[in-house]
Chain A
């Protein structure tokens, strides 16, 4: 289609919006509320352009191009209106950028600079000052910084189908609220953090534990061990200024050592352990007529979702703890015994692409190691400790690296410590949607058939399609499996179970779009293109691993020989498995 943009004749795709048309010819019209694949509210008025013949300026994010349209993206009128709209937003927005979590990575700050806004033109119109909402264990909301773009509402409602937040009030009193304004920690929020990922400002951020981790690192009495989730190695590089999806496993390990962690371990060890337990659990359920389909339980946002919205289906969840929690429990029991370190002196820090992991680490039942040691060490209730002490997001780790001045890109590649740093390709792919399924199939196939699996790449469960299906032939027995990412897609599979029409034996659910690599704790921005690059790096690492099946991890074999005895055994039951809570709606 031929149109004119800024007096130049250009060819653009039919049916696209003005914004997309401009983008396709190299003009970036600024926006605040519009976010590809997430929201198109046309509420901010920043993307206005002048169209010949139109009575008023039009919002380029929602207006489609028509044949012969004459668009001016930076006519004086458009520029003035755009600037004015941002100046109006700044009237009620705090000006404390220096001490803001998003300083340097804020779309509003960036836009004010880009548009050359050099003074505060309008006085504050809202009399009321909103308090921060820190009732959640994972997220902090600061309504003062909210510009009402509606991205968080869109992602929570349309992508996750949770609808924990929505607009309340009207006019000047409009704000993003939870039901009855009773605090994010007291409602159906799953802590997925997708809202924090799409927020243009710091109105929603993770609840930081950076200062507590520094304090632990500086305490000479503590042995501070760190575990890193698979998706962090393909995200942290971005936050340190490297290209999207950079695979930086070795540099990350080196950097963590330089931060002062005593041991740098890998959540992937926990992931391999999860697969061995979960694979056995699946086979046990199949052989003994247990509840099917069995659904994975690694993603804590998903766990809280099913607890709230489908409590009757909790029996379908695998009882396996997530890799983060398995790791924590094992670090403070198996590793403590092996090294003779008092478990009370071990601080387990996890680096996660996730905000919900903070909540998971504080679930009351996640104190397996404390229960394990209670009698032996004569522990009282006030000595109680959690298996995982602090869970940081990828973004928080980047903050720590920056604080130290470590030049991340110049770090050498180093190896994880042994034994809890040993892992396989199967564990790496936990970071992508479909990865847990593929890893489980690699192990379940060999456990079930007793035969060696030659082609270990289950490509049908890879990729970013909302729901993926596969039939797996286990020696003539067909295992039907499904993989869903985002809670909306999970809901579709749960409704099938509810209706009795689910054909599957095994389902993987990941809370966030793309799986953990698109998690709510990952670097900002995270979008479809960036998720693709991170996934490519994850599967690259899998391919280049020597061992690619969880049950072949020699350290996993060792922990069963020396400590756990057998999968689903007595010790596993106490340390590696859990139960769920009917929260209801």
Chain B
């Protein structure tokens, strides 16, 4: 679904962000992170990566290498709400796969069983569903992160309620 026009972050904001991190260790990572946050669709369009590369004098391929290495970075527009299901061992034994299947049914998409890192965005652009290897919240497994907030001991009913609320636009917790 590439119906949405790409929305790059303006050059002025890029300059500001780059300036803020210049010279610090890991400046490319922190810059990419902040630029993605500034993007209304929470992603890094190709032209933004190219701009960052030119402005920071870091080769295109190195920027691309970093942006594709970390699952945190999105190269495609993200839905309004992000749901991240933990697929770590503890969450798996407590049924996180079933949760993922539930979400697929509720939101009506087909999940690629073999692709552990797939990300799916609903056609109405409301939800992006992702998985993660471990949140480090194993004691409260299974956990699901919704728009940056971690929900513990999630079961199907709880998940249904959360998604329902989001659909009706009542809960828009943002961190």
Identify the A interface with B (CB < 8 A): 127, 157, 163-171, 173, 177-180, 187-188, 585
Contacts and interface: CB of A to CB of B under 8 A. Distances in A.
Interface string B68-97: 111100000000000000000000000000
A127 B115 contact: yes
Contact of A164 (B46, B61, B65, B115): B61
A167 to B, nearest CB: 6
B64 A168 contact: yes
6 contacts: A127-B115, A163-B61, A163-B62, A166-B64, A171-B117, A177-B65
B109 interface: no
Contacts of B115: 127
Contacts of A127: 114-115
B61 A177 contact: yes
Contacts of A178: 61
Given A178-B61, A187-B60, A170 B54 contact: no
Given A166-B64, A179-B64, 9 more contacts: A166-B62, A167-B65, A170-B69, A170-B71, A177-B68, A179-B53, A179-B61, A179-B63, A187-B60
A188 B65 contact: no
Contacts of A169: 68-69
Contact of B50 (A163, A166, A179): A179
Contacts of A173: 117
Contacts of B54: 585
B151 to A, nearest CB: 27
Contacts of A165: 61
Nearest to A173: B117
Interface in B14-53: 46, 49-50, 53
B77 to A, nearest CB: 15
B59 A163 contact: yes
Contacts of A177: 61, 64-65, 68
A168 B65 contact: yes
B115 to A, nearest CB: 7
Main secondary structure of the interface of B (DSSP, over half): helix
User: Which of A164, A167, A179 has the largest number of chain B CB atoms within 10 A?
Assistant: A179
Contacts of B68: 168-170, 177
B67 to A, nearest CB: 8
A188 B59 CA distance: 10
B73 to A, nearest CB: 11
Contacts of A585: 54, 60
A166 B62 CA distance: 7
B43 to A, nearest CB: 13
B69 A179 contact: no
Contacts of B63: 179
Contacts of A171: 117
A364 to B, nearest CB: 25
Contacts of B53: 179
Interface in B117-160: 117
Nearest to B63: A179
A171 B69 CA distance: 9
Contact of B64 (A157, A170, A180, A188): A180
Contacts of A179: 49-50, 53, 60-61, 63-64
Contacts of B70: 170
Contacts of B59: 157, 163, 166
User: Which of B53, B54, B69 has the largest number of chain A CB atoms within 10 A?
Assistant: B69
B44 to A, nearest CB: 11
A117 B60 CA distance: 40
Nearest to B70: A170
Contacts of B50: 179
B60 A188 contact: yes
Contacts of A188: 60
A180 B49 contact: yes
Given A173-B117, A179-B60, A188-B60, A166 B46 contact: no
B36 to A, nearest CB: 16
A180 B69 contact: no
A151 to B, nearest CB: 16
B114 A166 contact: no
A180 B46 contact: yes
Contacts of B117: 171, 173
Contacts of A170: 68-71
User: Which of B46, B61, B62, B65 has the largest number of chain A CB atoms within 10 A?
Assistant: B61
Contacts of A157: 59
Contacts of A168: 61, 64-65, 68-69
A166 B65 contact: yes
A188 B64 CA distance: 14
Contacts of B46: 180
A157 B114 CA distance: 34
A239 B158 CA distance: 69
A166 B61 contact: yes
Contacts of A163: 59-62
A157 B59 CA distance: 10
A56 to B, nearest CB: 25
B132 to A, nearest CB: 13
A170 B64 CA distance: 12
User: Which of A127, A166, A188 has the largest number of chain B CB atoms within 10 A?
Assistant: A166
Which are the 4 A-B pairs with shortest beta-carbon distances? Answer: A166-B61, A179-B60, A163-B59, A168-B68
Nearest to A165: B61
A565 B59 CA distance: 47
B61 to A, nearest CB: 4
Contacts of A187: 60
User: Which of B49, B59, B63, B65 has the largest number of chain A CB atoms within 10 A?
Assistant: B65
Nearest to A125: B114
